[in-house]
């Protein structure tokens, strides 16, 4: 798996791509995509990075793994391509945005509009086998995304990290809370949201308030 990222990320992660675990991961991903239908398409596995320059990152939203249904995953966590029906978690995200800051519920579920403003939409695991949630976990992706989070935490200041659900919370150990705002809540999936662990977290208004305090432009959610 040859990794071609935009220059700003390539420079930051070059040492990571040389690690032995990443070579093993790359071999696994190649085999999976050869033998099975996997998501997202190979060309957009690293879409989260290609859509958001390292220097531009202001907010990091952490997901678990890509959608495993046909035509849903586009390389940005929780996002779907134009014209695709919104999965339940995305529906709940948009409902919280609506309740929190009064933004109308959008037609498009493509979150590229967030990424272009400096929101890194990062799944902990960047690939998945069709119809098998979590099928590419514990193969090395978690080590890679841990390295990404640690790099962001170390090299930047005043970021907002949104950790939704227990899986994302585990990533929090790599974040320096003296330098960054860490917002934690339940996952936006119906199972969590319907039990009162998602709605009302006000992460979107809290993020913008923090960005304003630190002299950074807010996100147009």
pLDDT, one tens digit for every residue, the chain (221 residues): 568 889 999 999 999 998 999 999 999 999 999 999 999 999 999 999 999 999 999 999 999 999 999 999 999 999 999 999 999 999 999 999 999 999 999 999 999 999 999 999 999 999 999 999 999 999 999 999 999 999 999 999 999 999 998 888 889 999 999 999 999 999 999 887 777 789 999 999 999 999 999 999 999 99
As a whole number of Å, the end-to-end CA separation of the chain is: 34
Q: Is residue 56 flagged as an active site residue? A: no
Overall pTM surpassing 0.85 (yes/no)? yes
Beta-strand (E) ranges in the chain?
Answer: 38-39, 59-63, 119-123, 128-129, 160-164, 181-185
Count CB neighbours of 189 within 10 A: 17
Taking CA atoms, 132 is separated from 13, 22, 136, in Å, by 29, 22, 9
CB 127 within 8 A of CB 32: yes
Phi-psi domain of 25 (left: phi exceeds 0; alpha: psi -120 through 50; beta: other): alpha
pLDDT at 197: 83
pLDDT at 166: 85
**Of the candidates 164, 168, 163, which has an alpha carbon nearest to the alpha carbon of residue 192?**
164
pLDDT at 167: 83
pLDDT at 192: 79
| C-alpha–C-alpha distance, residues 187 and 164, integer Å | 5
Active-site residue (options: 65, 146, 178, 220): 65
């Amino acid at each position: 798996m040859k990794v071609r990222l935009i220059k700003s990320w390539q420079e930051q992660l070059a040492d990571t791509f040389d690690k032995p675990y990443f070579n093993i991961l790359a071999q696994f991903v190649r085999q999976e995509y050869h033998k099975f239908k996997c998501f997202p398409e190979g060309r957009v596995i690293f879409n989260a990075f290609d859509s958001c320059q390292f220097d531009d990152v202001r907010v990091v939203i952490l997901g678990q793994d890509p959608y495993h249904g046909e035509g849903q995953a586009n390389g940005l966590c929780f996002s779907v391509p134009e014209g695709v029906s919104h999965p339940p978690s995305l529906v709940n995200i948009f409902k919280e945005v609506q309740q929190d800051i009064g933004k109308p519920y959008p037609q498009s579920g493509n979150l590229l509009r967030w990424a272009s403003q400096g929101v890194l939409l990062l799944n902990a695991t960047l690939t998945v086998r069709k119809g098998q949630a979590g099928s590419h976990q514990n193969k090395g992706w978690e080590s890679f995304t841990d390295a990404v989070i640690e790099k962001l935490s170390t090299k930047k200041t005043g970021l907002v990290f949104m950790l939704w659900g227990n899986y994302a919370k585990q990533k929090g150990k790599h974040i320096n809370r003296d330098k960054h705002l860490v917002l934690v809540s339940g996952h936006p999936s119906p199972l969590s949201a319907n039990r009162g662990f998602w709605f009302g977290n006000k992460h979107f208004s809290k993020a913008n308030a923090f960005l304003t305090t630190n002299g950074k432009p807010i996100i147009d959610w």
